[in-house]
Amino acid sequence: MKQTTAAHAAQDTLRDFSADRRLLVLAAMGLVTGTFGALAAWTLLRLISLVTHLAYFHTLATGPYVLSHLRLGLLSALIPIAGGLIVGVMARYGSPKIRGHGIPEALESILTGESRIEPKVALLKPLSSAVAIGTGGPFGAEGPIIMTGGALGSLFAQCFRLTPAERKTLLVAGAAAGMTAIFGTPVAAVLLGVEVMLFEWKPRSLVPVCISAVVARAWRPWLVGAWPLFPYAGTLHVPWWGFAPCLLVGVIAGLLGALLSAGVYGVEELFEKLPIHWMWWPALGGIIVGIGGYFDPAVLGVGYDNIQALLNGALSLRAALELCLGKALVWIGALSSGTSGGVLAPLLIIGGALGVLEAHLLPFGGAGFWALVAMSATLGGTLRAPLAASVFAVEITGDLRVLPAVIAACAAAYATTVLLMRRSILTERLARRGQHLSYEYSVDPFEVVRVGQIMVQPAHTLPAGMTAAEAFEFFNPEPGIHRHQSYPVVDIDGKITAVVSRADVLRWVRTGTPASQTLQELCAAQAPLFGYADETVADLADRMIDAQLTRIPIVARDSLQVVGLVAQREILQVRARALREERDRRRIL
- For the domain that residue 488 is a member of, what is the CATH number? 3.10.580.10
156 has pLDDT over 50: yes
d(CA 43, CA 347) in angstroms, rounded, equals 23
What is the pairing mode between strands 551-555 and 562-567?
Answer: antiparallel
User: Of 396, 392, 380, nearest to 347 (Cα)?
Assistant: 380
Task: Give per-residue pLDDT as tens, 575-584.
Answer: 888 888 888 8
Pick the last residue of a domain from 188, 223, 258: 223
Instruction: Quote the CA–CA distance of 471 and 477 in Å, as a whole number.
Output: 10
Provide the pLDDT for residue 9. Answer: 41
CATH number at residue 113: 1.10.3080.10
Residues 416 and 453 in one domain: no
Q: How far apart, in Å, do the first and last CA atoms of the chain sit? A: 39
Average pLDDT (324-345) is 91
Provide the pLDDT for residue 336: 92
- Among residues of the chain, what percentage have pLDDT more than 70? 97
Q: How far apart are CA 457 and CA 459, in angstroms?
A: 5
Look at residue 79 in the predicted model and tell me its pLDDT.
Answer: 94
Least confident of 181-195, 197-211, 343-357, 434-448: 434-448
Identify whether 9 is part of a domain. Answer: no
Same domain for 452 and 425? no
Contacts of 108 (CB under 8 A, 6+ apart): 430, 433, 435
Asked if residue 46 lies in contact with residue 62, where contact means CB atoms within 8 angstroms, the answer is yes
- Regarding whether 198 and 307 lie in a shared domain, the answer is no
The confidence score (pLDDT) of residue 235 equals: 65
Per-chain mean pLDDT for the chain: 88
Q: Cα–Cα distance between 265 and 289 in angstroms, integer?
A: 17
User: Helix 78-93 crosses helix 119-134 at what angle (to 10 degrees)?
Assistant: 170
Taking the C-alpha atoms of residue 147 and residue 117, their distance in angstroms, rounded to an integer, is 10
The pLDDT value given to residue 10: 41
Residues 292-301 have a mean pLDDT of 92
- Among 365, 399, 431, residue at a domain's last position: 431
Whether the bond between 228 and the residue before it is cis, its omega within 30 degrees of 0, is yes
Per-residue pLDDT, averaged over 504-514, amounts to 84
If asked whether residues 496 and 381 sit together in one domain, one would say: no
Q: How far apart are CA 50 and CA 24, in angstroms?
A: 40
What pLDDT, on a 0 to 100 scale, did the predictor assign at position 33? 96
- Is it true that the peptide bond before 458 is cis, omega within 30 degrees of 0? yes
Q: What is the pTM of this model?
A: 0.85
| Cβ-contact 148, 340 below 8 angstroms | no
Q: What is the pLDDT of residues 186-239, one digit of tens each?
A: 999 999 999 988 888 889 999 999 999 999 999 999 998 888 888 876 767 788
Given a cut of 80, whether residue 66 has pLDDT beyond it is yes
Helix (H) or strand (E) holding 551: strand 551-555
pLDDT at 350: 96
Query: Which range (241-250, 341-350, 476-485) has the least confidence?
Result: 476-485
The verdict on residue 203 lying in a domain is: yes
Among the candidates 195, 223, 251, a domain finishes at 223
Q: Minimal CA–CA distance to 22: which of 155, 195, 207?
A: 207
Range in 94-103, 141-150, 497-506 with the lowest mean pLDDT: 94-103
Q: What does the alpha-carbon distance between residue 134 and residue 126 come to, in Å, rounded to a whole number?
A: 11
Instruction: Examine the domain organization and report whether 466 and 421 are in the same domain.
Output: no
* Cβ within 8 Å of residue 560, ≥6 positions away: 495, 496, 530
Element housing 377 (H / E): helix 367-383
Give the pLDDT of residue 492: 85
- pLDDT at 476 exceeding the cut of 90: no
Does residue 331 belong to any structural domain of this protein?
yes
Check pLDDT > 80 for residue 104.
no
Identify the band that residue 119 occupies on the pLDDT scale cut at 50, 70 and 90: confident
Do 516 and 492 lie in a common domain?
Answer: yes
- pLDDT value at position 2? 39
State the SS3 of 242-277: CHHHHHHHHHHHHHHHHHHHHHHHHHHHHHHCCCCC
Q: State the CB neighbour count (10 A cutoff) for residue 63.
A: 9
pLDDT greater at residue 95 or residue 357 = 357
For residues 257, 262, 268, 274, the Cα torsion angle rounded to the nearest 10 degrees is -150
3-state secondary structure of 467: strand
pLDDT at 6: 37
Residue 367: inside a domain: yes
Contact status, residue 428 vs residue 261, Cβ threshold 8 Å: yes
Residues 247 and 190 in one domain: no
Asked whether residue 91 falls in the same domain as residue 209, the answer is yes
426 shares a domain with 278: yes
More confident residue, 12 or 164: 164
User: Who wins on pLDDT, 485 or 209?
Assistant: 209
- Residue 555 pairs in a beta bridge with 532, 562
412 pLDDT above the threshold of 80:
yes
Which of 53, 80, 148 lies closest to 109, judged by CA? 148
Say if residue 405 is in the same domain as residue 459.
no
Write out the H or E segment, with its range, that includes residue 36: helix 22-52
Q: What is the pLDDT of residues 18-34, one digit of tens each?
A: 788 899 999 999 999 99
Indicate if 351 and 409 belong to the same structural domain: yes
**Share above pLDDT 90 across residues of the chain, in percent, rounded to a whole number:** 49
Q: 540 in a domain, yes or no? A: yes
Q: Which of 364, 341, 335, 338 is nearest to 263 (CA)?
A: 335
The rounded distance, in Å, linking the Cα atoms of 281 and 268 is: 10
pLDDT digits (tens, 9 = 90+) for 371-402: 999 999 999 999 999 999 999 999 999 888 89
Per the CB < 8 A criterion, the answer to whether 348 and 378 are in contact is: yes
99: helix, strand or coil: coil
A 10 A CB-CB count for 193 gives 28
Q: What range defines the domain where residue 263 resides? A: 243-431
Q: Sheet containing 462-463: give its strands across.
A: 462-463, 486-490, 496-501
* Cα–Cα distance, 508 to 519 (Å, whole number): 11
More confident residue, 108 or 253: 253
Buried b / exposed e over 131-152, threshold 16 CB at 10 Å, is bbbbbbbbbbbbbbbbbbbbbb
Q: Is residue 184 part of a domain?
A: yes
Number of domains in the chain: 3
Region of poorest pLDDT, from 126-130, 208-212, 323-327, 508-512: 508-512
Q: Indicate whether 260 and 382 sit together in one domain.
A: yes
Ranges 216-225, 428-437, 489-498: which has the least confidence: 428-437
pLDDT for the residue 310: 94
Residue 586 lies in a domain: no
| 439 lies in some domain | no
User: Which pLDDT does position 233 carry in this prediction?
Assistant: 64
The DSSP H or E segment spanning 355 is helix 344-359
Note the helical H segments in 384-500. Answer: 386-397, 403-420, 427-431, 445-448, 468-475
